[in-house]
Structure 1
Amino acid sequence: MVDMSGAEPDRLENFPVTFFAVMMGLLGLALAMAAAEKAAGSAGNVSQFILGTAVAVFAVLAFFYGLKLVRHPGAVLAEWNHPVRIAFFPTISISLLLLGTAMAPQVPATAYVIWSIGVAAQGLLALSVIANWIGHRSFQPLHLSPAWFIPAVGNVLVPLAGVDFGVIELSWLFFSAGLLFWIVLLTLVMNRLIFHEPLPARLMPTLVILIAPPAVAFVAWVRLTGDVDAFARVLLNTGYVFALIVLTQAPRFFRLPFALSWWALTFPLAALSVASFVFAHETGSYGHRMIGFGLVIVLSIAVATLVVRTAQAIRGKQICLPE
């Protein structure tokens, strides 16, 4: 993917943790495609291919970031101390949770191990990030962005596979924590977006992350309760409302230069498509089924475009540069 070996150690030093947002996009696409295949009654060949690709990409990213940790621990610490990039560290644990969830139907034993590691990492990273937020450091409103939702989103992902694995009470614990911090952070983020200066161009795509928490929480709630009740409907429709709000900003997105933050577009779309398919399956809603298929098409186009743009940026050495 990227030659980050000894020939260019400075490039390795700048290998960003934000690269793991690519994993969330690919695994989100695999789960959304699996849901679409189930809704269409077709074989899961496409979703399995995407999942296999995602596993390979995760191995590459984990190797290079592990190499960075060994060779340049100071650079990793600098990312941890960065007021924006710190929120992207849980993308590593989220990738493990999504990987375990996606693999569960085929290889449940292996998936459970991966999921368990993801749960432990998510708990540790979420607590560490939150402790950092409320510690002695002074954060400014300009440091706040929808990327701060990432630790909360990771928590509500736990029940997606946790229920099938029989880990019920732990799933409720993570779901409760995720829901609580989503509500708190939503208030802070909306205050920042409305009353302070606009997001910088690099972070504009993170607006789409607003869609993810209610969409994932809907799926998690249905998994935990086994019912599409009034609260579940509120969660799903909140996801649709945020999708419409983000859509009003779409013209601004197309004028922005490419950055890795563009991958933030993908997982929320995947989450909303899966949520639509779950609602359609539970209620028999044809309209939500069509929404799910439409979102999967948009998501597939977005991922394909971002793969091309990322490859071009890597070839042009526009990735892994110091800021």
Structure 2
Amino acid sequence: MTEVRPSRLQNFPISWFAVIMGMSGFSIAWHRAESLLELSVSPSPVLLGLTITTFAVLLLCYLAKAVKYPDQVKAEFTHPIKLNFFPTISIGLILLSVALLPYSNDLSLICWAIGAALHLSFTLYVLSAWLHQTHFEVAHINPAWFIPIVGNILVPIAGVGHASPEISWFFFSIGLVFWLVLLTIIFYRMFFHQPLPAKLLPTLFILIAPPAVGFVSWFQLVGEVNAFGRVLYYVAIFLTLMLLTQVTRFLRLEFFLSWWAYSFPMAAITIATFLMYEQLQLPFFKWLGMALLGFLTVLIAVLISKTARAVRHRAICIED
């Protein structure tokens, strides 16, 4: 009797959209490098096209899953960990709005408006779910919890050019305050409870993203690298150093789709470093930015290779 394999679409995880965050950040980082360092190569348009295509394919796949397997989508939407990855869709749109800004203001505005509105909806829903939950435990908390609430801090990057600054201040305020709240809870969980399971260890890199992105957003709002901006940037640098000193621990991990959690935070600190160089013109930030971009490029290449291999060997889109 022939064994019937479970549908890969049925087990298509919402965490796939973390790929869009990483690829969008990668595209933006390369565009910043091209213009700031006057590079002779310009891969960013190709990277952006690849990112948009990947986003469209993933969105179509997940919509097909929602139509054919609505119970599986509902299960993810009520899961204490998987729930936090639904806002990667709206964050992907917000990041695409930033990446599209140099090419089309209208397309950027459309992505930004849809992404910001959708992300606010996710924020309200997730926060309500947290407040009235009956089944979440401390063990469920991990840095992915930053995504739905702290993701608001991304909105001003393109938002200051698309709408009233007050809208950007609104989103930035939400992201900043809840970053501090959730950072405290997450460190409490890691210090005083069981370590994160291996599958979720890559999410530790998400710790880098809020201060790095917060620095870029703060600059967009105030127009200068001031004292508070420096605090955000150097906290991000410290967290990057802290995690990179543990690189051997991460290299020993089996590949999971959660490895894509490495990508966007590294892109964020790369972009923030190039911004520091642009504003302060200190050679240190130029060389650090180039080193980070090189590391990010190798990282993305490894992630794409490992993801393609995992898909080919049916190691992704399987039942947990």
Task: State yes or no: 1:17 paired with 2:20.
Answer: no
The CA distance in 2 between the partners of 1:148 and 1:248, in whole Å, is 24
1:229-248 alignment to 2 at 5 Å?
A: 229-248=226-245
The one-letter amino acid paired with 1:189 is: I
2:149 to 152, 159, 164: 152
CA distance in 1, matches of 2:189, 2:115: 31
Give the CA RMSD over aligned residues. Answer: 1.3
Separation in 2 of the partners of 1:44 and 1:24? 23
State the one-letter code of the partner of 1:148.
Answer: W
8 A contact 1:30–1:51 mirrored in 2:
yes
Structure-1-length-normalised TM-score: 0.96
1:303 matched to 2:300: yes
- Report the CA distance between 1:292 and its aligned residue: 1.1
2:272 match:
275
Pick one of 129, 132, 135 that aligns with 2:132. 135
Pairwise CA distance, 1:43: 5.8
Residues 133-142 or 218-227, more deviating: 133-142
User: Structure 2 CA distance, aligned partners of 1:44 and 1:223?
Assistant: 27
| Seq. identity, % | 45
Q: Does 2:30 align with 1:33? A: yes
Normalising by structure 2, we get a TM-score of 0.96
Matches for 1:91-106 after TM superposition, within 5 Å: 91-106=88-103
AA partner of residue 25 (structure 1): G
In 2, the alpha carbon distance for the partners of 1:65 and 1:130 equals 23
Counterpart Cα distance in 1 of 2:127 and 2:40: 42
Query: In 2, distance between residues paired with 1:265 and 1:256?
Result: 13
The alpha carbon displacement at 1:140 in A equals 1.1
SS at match of 1:83: coil
Aligned residues: 317
Query: For the Cα contact (< 8 Å) 2:123–2:148, is it kept in 1?
Result: yes
* 1:60 alignment partner AA: V
Larger mean Cα displacement after TM superposition, 230-239 or 276-285: 276-285
Q: Does 1:111 align with 2:129?
A: no
Q: Deviations over 1:172-205 (max 9, x none)?
A: 0000000011000000000111111111000000
**Deviation for aligned residue 1:9:** 6.8
**Separation in 2 of the partners of 1:95 and 1:259?**
20
Deviations along 1:109-132, one digit per CA (max 9) or x if unpaired, are: 111011100011110011111111
Aligned partners of 1:42, 1:166: CA distance in 2, in Å?
A: 32
Go from structure 1 to structure 2 and tell me whether the alpha carbon gap of 1:43 and 1:154 turns closer, same or farther (over 3 Å shift): farther
Query: Partners of 2:38 and 2:276 in 1: how far apart?
Result: 16
Name the amino acid aligned to 2:300.
Answer: V
1:245, distance to aligned residue in structure 2 (A): 1.5
How many Å apart are 1:8 and its aligned residue? Answer: 7.0
Equivalent residue letter for 2:181: V
Equivalent in 190, 193, 198 of residue 187 of structure 2: 190
2:159 is aligned to: 162
Counterparts of 1:160 and 1:181, CA distance in 2: 18
* Residues 150, 174 of structure 2: 8 Å contact kept: no
After superposing the two structures, state which structure 1 stretch, 134-143 or 206-215, moved more: 134-143
Does structure 1 residue 63 correspond to structure 2 residue 85?
no
Change beyond 3 A, Cα 1:69–1:8: farther
| In 2: Cα distance, 1:62 partner to 1:170 partner | 27
- Structure 2, gaps ≥5 residues long: none
Alpha-carbon distance in 2 for matches of 1:128, 1:265: 26
- CA deviations over 1:279-317 (Å, ceiling 9, x no partner): 111111211121111111111101100101000000001
1:258-269 residue pairs with structure 2 within 5 A? Answer: 258-269=255-266
Following the alignment from structure 2 to structure 1, what is the Cα–Cα distance between the partners of residues 57 and 117?
22
Distance, in Å, in 2 between the alignment partners of 1:31 and 1:120 is 22
Deviations 1:229-282 (CA, angstroms, capped at 9, x unpaired): 100000000001111111232111111100000000000000001001111111
Q: Spell out structure 1 runs of 4+ moving beyond 6 A.
A: none
Name the CA distance, whole Å, in 2 between partners of 1:95 and 1:43: 28
Contact 1:214/1:236 (CA < 8 Å) preserved in 2?
yes
- Matching residue of 1:253: 250
Tell me the CA shift for residue 138 of structure 1. Answer: 3.0
